[in-house]
A and B are shown apart, each in its own frame.
Chain A
Amino acid sequence: MRFGVVRFPGSCDDVDALAAAKRVGDAVILWHAERDLRGADVVVIPGGFSYGDYLRAGAIARFAPVMAEVIEFAHEGGLVMGICNGFQVLCEAGLLPGALLPNVSLRFVCRQVDLDVVNDQTPFTGACDLAETLSIPVKHTTGRYYAPPEELLELSAGGQVVLRYAEGHNPNGSLEDIAGVCNEPRNVFGLMPHPEHAVDPLTGSAGGLRIFESLRAHVDGRVAV
């Protein structure tokens, strides 16, 4: 299977995401200015500060040429995962519900947090167990998840809330401790924590690997079918 990791001019965690993806499959960089997904089975929009995050995080990146392809891919059911800035981009692009607002502290926060898996029936969490706790770092200034109250209800009811910060671990004031959500068909997923930075105990923890493994298993299963 192949991951495609998008690189915007201000992407920072693209190399990390590429390396993490390579632990479970093949992975290539997708250049923001090219409308080419290079045959990727899964598109990863990595963290960083695409376009310096000026205006609103993700607002400008969402118009990059490659994003037109990503949006089409997503509408056709392709797997897309946005991490941190990538999550912001997917919300801005309308592929995911809600928006991300400045942390309540108004400060950047880099911290290892615990996450509860609240839906293990997605391509991104299939290898996890329900209520499993993943230890994964966050690092962002704009990560407070927001959606209007009615929409929040629907998200919860529809299983679109995939990850929540464990009790006492919400680093940014996200509504209902939401750390990651997916779209209704469950092929697009965004999360503020950085699974690509949790793939090796040597550099922290390995909780994030579960997400890459889930994707691998999902794609393999699908290919086999």
Chain B
Amino acid sequence: MSTVASLSETPRHRQLGLTDHEYELILERLGREPNTVELAMLSLMWSEHCAYKHSRKLLRRLPTSGPHLLMGPGENAGAVDVGGGLALAFKVESHNHPSAVEPFQGAATGVGGILRDIFAVGARPIAVLDSLRFGEPERSERSRYLLGRAVAGIGHYGNSIGVPTIGGEVYFEPSYEQNCLVNAMCLGIAPRERLIRSAAAGPGNLVVLLGALTGRDGIGGASVLASAELGEGDEAKRPSVQIGDPFAEKKLLECCLELLDRGLLVALQDLGAAGLTSSISEMVSKGGVGVELDVSHVPLRESAMEPFEIMVSESQERMLCVVEPPRFDEVLAVCQRWETLATAIGEVTDSGHVRVLDHGEPVADLPVHVLVDDCPLYDLKPAPPAREAAGGEAPVAQAGGRGSDAPTLLALLRSPNICSRRPLFEQYDWIVQSRTVRRPGQTDAAVLALPDGSGIAVSIDGNGRRVYADPRRGAAEAVFECAANLACVGAEPLGVTNCLNFGNPEKPTVAWQLTEAVEGVASACEALDVPVVGGNVSLYNEAPAGPIFPTPVIGIVGKLPDVARAGRLGFAREGDAIALVGPFEPSLAASELEKLWGQPPIGPLPDADGGLLRHLHAKIREGVRSQTLRSAHDVAEGGVAVALAECCMAGRIGARVELHDALDSFGEAPGRGFIVSGPADALERWADSEPSGACTMIGEVCGDALQIVSRLSLPVDELLRAWGEGLDKFF
């Protein structure tokens, strides 16, 4: 009872997450008090999620132009030109909090949401990737439950809607125990001229709601309004978990693409967080127009919904479009064919206001700029954590010759962060749509064929453990590693998307992590000369025990001219020479080996020369394209020893190599080192070509065991046994 009492004493705006200062600003801008509906709308539009108030200034640091760019940040998804008249749209987005509450539906609707962002720009979704973080599965039942259900949810949505899930990543760290991360990335293609923007235009045009009925799904922060207004026994009116319906979305997707093909739409926008309020505000803001809509026209799933509930409902599988009145009948016909509901709910105006009616009676009237632009943007107050001062030098890399590394390698191969992901990705359909040339497990980046015989490659990466140790270098590394993955299949990066998963930005340490990480991502993208075309920010990922590891997740898409020449990671042929390539000076700082030893991740991480890496990646890429390299694999978690083991396991063949004494078998420096193989003389010629850099011939592909001279020797079968069971026991 006491909580109810104190809740009702708290002013409404604060219950809705607005600060007193923000509320005063609203009063000043409006010149009056907002009513309930308006307050609900404003509190959402001024939320972190919609207004990016703690991150927008930082995001300006990201480079956003490049020669292939077609659509940059600001639209539902970014897009690059992939040739052949085709645009490739892509974006990554988080669904962390809903997944921590209800992992199956949370993850499923996360996929549903990112798919809508892609077809909102007129692109047909052709692939999904996922990036997942959970607590330690060996120790935590909750983490196993979240893992199992989130993976099932992603599969459920992606598999049912016929979009292949072609790649992803999963890592386990205690910091994600309560607050798991579920990020999903989607790629779509469209004829260049079919790309559509979300700006509403043309006063008098109809605003049409497409898709599912509106219910009380996920009425986020505004639930306070509901609970404040409802009495006992109104339990059913409480906001509810969003349930995904991939079947409805499949029809909605086909319907939208057909509407676009027939040229029937002026603008298109998905409904996501903050529902109708956010979508309509964004559309009219971008178009510099206004809108008048009547909530009584919105088809409802539940009875007696309040106007504010309709305006903020997050019911899934809905889209909003703008249609010229004479074409409305045609729109209806297409929608009928796809069994998709279409309802005109309002009209574009030139008022510069969002006017909401209920059965003709005004219930809200807000200037668009107050909704969209007037939310204050905050400067972060970053301060590095105290441990930095005591941080000191990175742990000294241990050189070889300390006895057999074999047990260590097997332990690493067995560890949840390195072991085989097959039990996970087998739950995803990676073949539907018949484009998948390199599937999960075959290469570092997935590869899809385009109609003209060229291909696109995509990879998603992020390592919270390393970013925690050294936010700037750790974040830059994620970009380099992702680009390295593309190089290994012969692809050139065209564009970057990112999802910034962090804790509470009002905490100085988190603010510092965020600032440093964005700087790291920005500088790495600049060095590689690839633009950031969009992304997403997820803040306040915290549990009572503290924030998550700062986790920027990077997705990069690239292009290869001849998809039939896409690279592979596995050693291919007995007798091929093996080389270690790159300015590779690994360290054990924040490595998987340190994790195995139970040490906390402590920086600094080894620095990387982005300019050099750009050339190195180009060299790898050319080696793959010319088929000089019969295999290429970047050295990541677990260092050279694990990378070699992976090349052997993928190729089901052994290798004999000798490493320089100073090189630790398990030291890490993501994005900077590659294990490549090929015919000896061709490989040597390639190695001598510019930039020659550090390119060391280290051995040859042979036999059925991995032998690292004077360090370890293990049959490939044994490697496979350790690595292969993988995640199976956690599902």
Contact = CB atoms under 8 A, between A and B. Distances in A.
- The answer to A–B direct touch (Cβ < 8 A) is yes
B159 A108 contact: yes
Contacts of A197: 431-432, 434
Interface stretch (B83-91, B245-253, B413-421, B470-478): B245-253
A13 B449 contact: no
Given A51-B247, A52-B160, A203-B449, A139 B429 contact: yes
B246 A110 contact: no
A180 B434 CA distance: 22
Contacts of B428: 108, 110
A202 B159 CA distance: 22
A39 interface: no
Interface in A72-124: 107-111
Given A202-B564, A203-B449, A204-B431, A9 B247 contact: yes
Contact of B426 (A10, A16, A111): A111
Contact of A13 (B162, B247, B338, B437): B162
B480 interface: no
Contacts of B439: 204
A212 interface: no
Nearest to A48: B162
B449 A16 contact: no
B436 A9 contact: no
B24 interface: no
B437 A49 contact: no
Contacts of A11: 162
B338 A203 contact: no
A110 B429 contact: yes
Contact of A202 (B155, B430, B449, B731): B449
A136 B701 CA distance: 30
A197 B338 CA distance: 26
A194 interface: yes
Contact of B247 (A10, A15, A111, A203): A10
3 smallest CB-CB distances across A and B, nearest first, come from: A12-B162, A52-B247, A49-B160
Nearest to A53: B160
Interface of A: 9-13, 15-16, 19, 48-49, 51-54, 107-111, 137, 139, 141, 194, 196-197, 200, 202-204
11 contacts: A9-B251, A12-B161, A15-B434, A16-B433, A49-B246, A49-B250, A52-B248, A109-B427, A110-B426, A203-B434, A203-B435
Contacts of A53: 160, 247
B159 A139 contact: yes
B427 A107 contact: yes
B676 interface: no
Given A16-B433, A202-B563, A52 B426 contact: no
B658 interface: no
A9 B250 contact: yes
B339 interface: yes
B431 A194 contact: yes
Given A16-B433, A110-B429, 18 more contacts: A10-B160, A11-B162, A12-B160, A12-B250, A13-B432, A16-B432, A51-B247, A52-B245, A52-B247, A108-B156, A108-B429, A109-B427, A110-B428, A111-B426, A139-B432, A141-B159, A197-B434, A203-B435
Interface string B160-191: 11100000000000000000000000000000
A203 B251 contact: no
B434 A108 contact: no
A19 B250 CA distance: 20
Contacts of B449: 202-203
A203 B437 contact: yes
Contacts of A202: 437, 449, 563-564
B392 to A, nearest CB: 47
Interface in B430-469: 430-437, 439, 449
Given A9-B339, A49-B160, A203-B435, A107 B430 contact: no
Contacts of A51: 247
B152 interface: yes
Contacts of B432: 12-13, 16, 139, 197
Given A107-B152, A203-B435, A49 B429 contact: no
A110 B426 CA distance: 5
Contacts of B436: 203-204
Contacts of B152: 107-108
B572 to A, nearest CB: 16
Contacts of B338: 9
Nearest to B148: A107
B729 to A, nearest CB: 13
Contacts of A111: 426
A220 to B, nearest CB: 25
A117 B425 CA distance: 28
Contact of B427 (A12, A13, A110): A110
A173 B562 CA distance: 40
A107 B429 CA distance: 12
A137 B431 contact: yes
Given A9-B251, A10-B160, A203-B435, A109 B246 contact: no
Given A52-B246, A202-B563, A15 B433 contact: yes
A92 to B, nearest CB: 17
B155 A108 contact: yes
A12 B152 CA distance: 19
B431 A110 contact: yes
Contacts of A204: 431, 436, 439
A109 B434 contact: no
Nearest to B425: A110
Contacts of A137: 431
A204 B437 CA distance: 7
A109 B338 CA distance: 29
A34 B426 CA distance: 36
A200 B152 CA distance: 29
B431 A49 contact: no
Nearest to A19: B434
A78 B553 CA distance: 53
Contacts of A49: 159-160, 162, 246-247, 250
Contacts of A16: 432-434
A111 B439 CA distance: 11
A53 B425 CA distance: 22
B402 to A, nearest CB: 41
A15 B164 CA distance: 14
A48 B436 CA distance: 17
Contacts of A15: 433-434
B159 to A, nearest CB: 6
B262 to A, nearest CB: 17
A108 B564 CA distance: 29
B443 to A, nearest CB: 14
A114 B339 CA distance: 39
Name which of A11, A12, A15, A196 has the most chain B CB atoms within 10 A of its CB.
A12
A12 to B, nearest CB: 3
Nearest to B427: A108
A63 B160 CA distance: 20
Name which of A12, A19, A110, A197 has the most chain B CB atoms within 10 A of its CB.
A110
A34 to B, nearest CB: 11
B211 to A, nearest CB: 13
A193 B430 CA distance: 14
Contacts of B155: 108
B97 to A, nearest CB: 25
A190 B596 CA distance: 49
Interface string B347-381: 00000000000000000000000000000000000
A33 to B, nearest CB: 8
Contacts of B427: 107-110
Contacts of A19: 434
Contacts of A139: 159, 429, 431-432
A108 B428 CA distance: 7
Name which of A51, A52, A200 has the most chain B CB atoms within 10 A of its CB.
A52
A10 B248 CA distance: 9
Nearest to B434: A16
Given A53-B160, A108-B159, A139-B159, A10 B431 contact: no
